[in-house]
Chains A and B, each alone.
Chain A
Amino acid sequence: MVYLALLLLFIVSYSFYYFGKNRALKIKFTGDQKLASLPDYYGYFLVLVVFLPSLIIWFILLLYKSNFQELYVMSPSLFPDIAQWSDAKFGLIMNKISNLALIVNIPEADLLKGQTSLLNMSSESELIAAKNLASFDNIYGWSIVIVFILLPVILGLSVSRLINQKLNVQPIVEKTIINIIRFSSIVAILVTFGIFFSLIFEAIKFFQYVNFADFFFNTAWNPNRAWVISSGETVDPEILKDAFGWVPLLTGTLLVGSVAMFVAIPLGLASAIYLAEYASSKVRDIAKPIIEILAGIPTVVYGFFAALTLAPMLKNFGDSIGIDISAESALAAGLAMGVMIIPFVSSLSDDVIRSVPNSLRDGSYALGATKSETIKKVVLPAALPGIMGSFLLAVSRAIGETMIVVMAASLRANLTFNPLEPATTITTQIVTALIGDVEFENPKTLVAFALGLSLFVMTLILNIIAITIVRKYREKYD
């Protein structure tokens, strides 16, 4: 029913475009005065006139459909004590009637067990209400369809009579379009700033429980101490003091990130140099997309791989040579993350290296340098800002990575710089805080927002630094 209505609306609108345009063209070619606007515009004008009001009306009808349903169906004649019902009961009965309405007109033999069970548990008045609802929905659906044919057509035809050469629709059409896109940008801006504000809002709630300084400088992370709080209880700040220390999470994040960069930087840079400078275009055309596949693999896969293959392998290796490598070591997660980040470093660096103009290289060759010397002493320094930018981007990606660490790293905070030990990251703790028992008044859940805010700020700073470096030190060669 809905598809039909929308389809009709589109067809009608589309045809009115041509209708309006042709009308305008006719006037243009039969009259001897100039048309106020281009014929196109009359077409668009009619489209707007036909499409927009119908769409708005439809939105309203759809939005308030349930209200209309309730008005029609829930009458005191069927349910005498309806005035005393609680909101919850009203909602439940309405839900039941809605479910019933879908099955009440189906012959009994075709019903599934679940549906017959529902019928058996319904009272007479509920069944009658359901039948009413079913017929209401039917009429509602058809009337919408009819409205969508009649309304646009009537609107379109009546307005089209207004088309004469004096009518200047161009400003109207243009203004409407501009308003539409202005509205969209407001929505976009609201969304982008809204993210920031909602984080701050919830984080502020968190900081009412835990001191700012305590959070950022404390080294103990035991969020379960906050468990004893239920909503409404006053909290002993002493308990919370040692519960939420950010420092071990930061070190864990940096530890895993560093391991990742140890893998990604050499491999990524080496690949970038080779592909940009040495490889033939055939090799480049094949190798570059394949490497970029690494970035496209969902992080769930890396996490799976890190947890089930890498970690046990490392542990067994450690056991065999006598070193204790934890089964949730930062090393396992970091290695997997590093592989994932390789394309970030290699693709971006590759683009940057290629953009260094050949005149620099030619100059170097002219002075007798070998290719590697040219790269090391001329090209790379020239490309350095861009390469630094790509490193920073890769780092911020590593910091924000969630799934790999959730699956492979530990859940226990550990203040260490030893990658063989388990460690947890900021992102892991965000996930842990929000899965399972979620209570928006308890600092145990709210800490997720504080952590998210810290993540947001860290990546913001990294990005700003990256952009500044690139802008400031980039030489314009042309």
Chain B
Amino acid sequence: MTNIKKRLSAERRFKFYGQLGVFLSLLFVTLLMLKIFTTGSGAFFRTTIEADVFFDPNFMQVDKNSSDKEISRASFEALADSVVNYNFKDLNEDQFIKVREMFTRRFDYQLRDYFLDNKDDYKKTVKLKITASSDLDQIVKGNYPRNVPEAQRKINDYQLSILDELNKQERIGSTFNFWFFTNGDSRDPETAGIWGAIMGSFYALMVCLAFAFPIGLFASVYLEEYTKPGKITDLIEVNINNLAAVPSIVFGLLGLGMLIGVFNMPFQVPLVGGLTLGFMTLPTIIIACRSSLRAVPPSIRHGALALGATKTQTTFHHVVPLALPGTLTGTIIGMAQALGETAPLLMVGMVAFVMEIPGGPLDPATGLPSQIYLWSESAERGFIEKTSAGIMLLLLFLIAMNLTAVLIRRKVEVKW
């Protein structure tokens, strides 16, 4: 009887190992997500300092009757300085510089944007929430330690005392950071945004799709339906299957060597990045399409042929539409993979400091994963949370794409 007991306890142990495996895997997912979420969520908010802003005509080049164009051209730097002086009286030169540094460098932009919408506040005083500088933002968020000697801090003692003072007056607040979504890259972490990278990836993926989907679809149809099985088609199939497993960096090499080296295409543009990603996704789409075509039972084809259809009619009216859901899911999954790949982008140069938002596939750009990579290498501490926030966004896109693929598969799939 002990034998049975032993076997049953072995059974329990075995089951436990299985549960442990699943549990640990799920744990890793959760830990990763938590880490990313906690680090990155800070990026969606930015610290503000409430200040009294007096639109002093002495420091302004425009007035309430100026046109929008004139206002956008005018400099608001002097006004920004005057606001500092207005709110903090009797500062000597050194203190003035330190306090000014506590506000974002683009203080003048905020004033200008406000004035564009509120010209009637000319000569009036309003309370505005001005964005704080990245260093201050990080201290308020608790990412910088406060209780270390001054030399080891980015905020000096004087600035800390002003911060405490402002806190007491309840002038430190926080607001939603929509700049993260509308701005391009920047050297100041508080104004850096991810829109440029999103557009770069968008154009690259569009190019990738335009290249890989039609060619992949048509090629699969031809190889599957119109060619006879033989040595050559086997060779092609092995080659394509292998390519699907080749590391993405090899495709980056191809992009660099062929597109840039031989065809002299410009460096750093989504067109080249997209084509490289297209090379990478082509095998995936072909494999997905071919397996969907194969899954269509011969009876469909036979039925159509029996009714007198030609091969082309059979293929395009009957077989291909049935294979389309599988092909589409494969395409979407391939696109999701392409979105997350950094190595090919690195190879073709889509990884530099680019502030302007690209307007088309031929403008210099970075991509979402390479922007994350760039930010993770940046020295300014403020970029750490931006990196995590970028990762969150990337994951969101990927999950959305994969969910779409799964939904399509469920909805339009016909079960044989």
Contact = CB atoms under 8 A, between A and B. Distances in A.
Any A–B CB pair closer than 8 Å = yes
B261 interface: yes
B376 A304 contact: yes
B310 A170 contact: yes
Given A370-B8, A430-B249, A274 B218 contact: no
A180 B218 contact: yes
B99 interface: no
Contact of B399 (A193, A279, A293, A339): A293
Contacts of A440: 261
A180 B340 CA distance: 32
A188 B216 contact: yes
Nearest to A403: B342
Contacts of B265: none
A184 B247 contact: no
Given A188-B215, A195-B279, A271-B18, A431 B223 contact: no
B258 A194 contact: yes
Given A194-B258, A305-B32, A297 B395 contact: yes
A452 B312 contact: no
Contact of A372 (B15, B36, B221, B391): B15
B7 interface: yes
B257 A198 contact: yes
Contact of B21 (A191, A274, A376): A274
B69 interface: yes
Most buried by B among A184, A266, A400, A401: A184
A270 B17 contact: yes
B343 A431 contact: yes
Interface stretch (A139-147, A209-217, A454-462): A454-462
A24 to B, nearest CB: 16
A251 interface: no
A73 B57 CA distance: 49
Nearest to B398: A296
A182 B10 contact: no
Interface string A161-194: 0000000001001100110111111011101111
B347 interface: yes
Nearest to B243: A192
Given A182-B222, A192-B236, A400-B249, A301 B36 contact: yes
A151 interface: no
Interface stretch (B22-30, B119-127, B131-139, B178-186): B22-30
Interface string A107-134: 0011000000000000000000000000
Contacts of B25: 267-268, 271, 291, 294, 342-343, 346
Given A301-B391, A460-B242, A372 B10 contact: yes
B11 interface: yes
A299 interface: yes
A66 B193 CA distance: 35
Main secondary structure of the interface of A (DSSP, over half): helix
B215 A427 contact: no
B206 to A, nearest CB: 14
Interface in B337-351: 340-343, 346-347
Contacts of B29: 290-291, 293-294
Contact of B242 (A269, A376, A449, A463): A463
Contacts of B343: 402-403, 427, 431
Contacts of B256: 434, 438
A212 B399 CA distance: 45
A187 B215 contact: yes
A97 to B, nearest CB: 18
A300 B372 contact: yes
A402 B340 CA distance: 13
B35 interface: yes
Given A184-B214, A372-B10, A400 B340 contact: no
B165 to A, nearest CB: 35
Nearest to B316: A177
A472 B15 CA distance: 31
A435 interface: yes
B307 interface: no
B246 interface: yes
A456 B251 CA distance: 11
B112 to A, nearest CB: 15
A308 B254 CA distance: 31
A191 B282 contact: yes
B15 A431 contact: no
A297 B32 contact: yes
A402 B282 contact: no
B402 A296 contact: yes
A393 interface: yes
B40 to A, nearest CB: 11
A448 interface: yes
Nearest to B339: A298
A268 B249 contact: no
Contacts of B10: 370, 372-373
Contacts of A275: 18, 22
Contact of B15 (A185, A278, A400): A278
A287 interface: yes
Contact of A188 (B252, B282, B394): B282
Residue with the greatest number of chain A CB neighbours at <10 A, chosen from B13, B247, B372, B402: B247
A309 interface: yes
Contacts of B88: none
A12 interface: no
B124 to A, nearest CB: 28
Contact of B310 (A174, A278, A339, A448): A174
B247 A427 contact: yes
Interface in A59-74: none
A181 B222 contact: yes
Contact of A191 (B28, B217, B238, B279): B279
Nearest to A273: B18
Contacts of A189: 219, 236
Interface of A: 109-110, 170, 173-174, 177-178, 180-185, 187-189, 191-196, 198-199, 202, 266-271, 273-275, 277-279, 287, 290-291, 293-294, 296-301, 304-305, 307-309, 339, 342-343, 346, 370-373, 375-376, 393, 396-397, 399-403, 407, 427, 430-431, 434-435, 438, 440, 448-449, 452, 455-456, 459-460, 463-464, 467
Question: 9 closest Cβ contacts across the A-B interface?
Answer: A270-B21, A400-B247, A274-B18, A184-B218, A298-B340, A372-B14, A188-B219, A185-B219, A181-B218
Given A181-B218, A339-B28, A402-B248, 10 more contacts: A184-B222, A187-B215, A192-B239, A268-B21, A296-B399, A296-B402, A298-B369, A301-B394, A403-B342, A463-B241
15 contacts: A170-B310, A178-B222, A181-B218, A181-B226, A183-B218, A188-B240, A188-B282, A198-B254, A198-B257, A267-B24, A270-B20, A299-B340, A431-B346, A434-B347, A440-B261
